[in-house]
A = this chain, B = another copy of it.
Amino acid sequence: MTERTYSISDLSREFDVTARAIRFYEDKDLIQPMREGQRRIYTARDRVRLKLILRGKRLGFSLSEIKDILDLYDTDMGESRQLELLLDKIEERRRALEAHRRDIDLTLAEMDDLERQCRENLKERAGAD
């Protein structure tokens, strides 16, 4: 079984990012595709990494923060000391993400409020007609 691979424009199309951006991520050491001569060859694993990068971006993380997160997945599971450190980092990430979610929930609650005010106003208007 030979694993499927992707060209840079395959990924560019699929995720709607420019090839320039993908190369930039490589330059910043977030992906390391293989080469076939000059050409970059992306494996399924690289594709997942790119997906994670873009999700990180949507979440407002900087590329260097995203790199830190990606590095979590690459931790050498062979050494117990590394595993302990990894658990700590996971906890930290989790806390950050949960704070992030609280911000979102606050904003959603305010949208609810605003919508309610809005609808009440419209209802009054309808009555006064």
Task: Point out residues on A near B: beta carbons under 8 Å.
Answer: 55, 58-61, 72-73, 77, 80, 83, 86-87, 90, 93-94, 97-98, 100-101, 103-108, 111, 114-115, 117-119, 121-122, 125
Oligomer copy total: 2
Which 8 pairs between the two chains have the least Cβ-Cβ distance? A60-B60, A90-B115, A101-B104, A90-B111, A77-B121, A83-B118, A94-B111, A55-B103
A105 to B47 alpha-carbon distance, docked (Å): 20
Q: Which residues of B contact A58 (CB under 8 A)?
A: 60, 100, 103
Chain A contact residues: over half helix, strand or loop, or mixed? Answer: helix
Task: Show 11 A/B contacts (Cβ-Cβ < 8 Å), sorted by A.
Answer: A55-B103, A58-B100, A58-B103, A59-B104, A83-B118, A83-B122, A87-B118, A87-B119, A90-B114, A90-B115, A101-B101
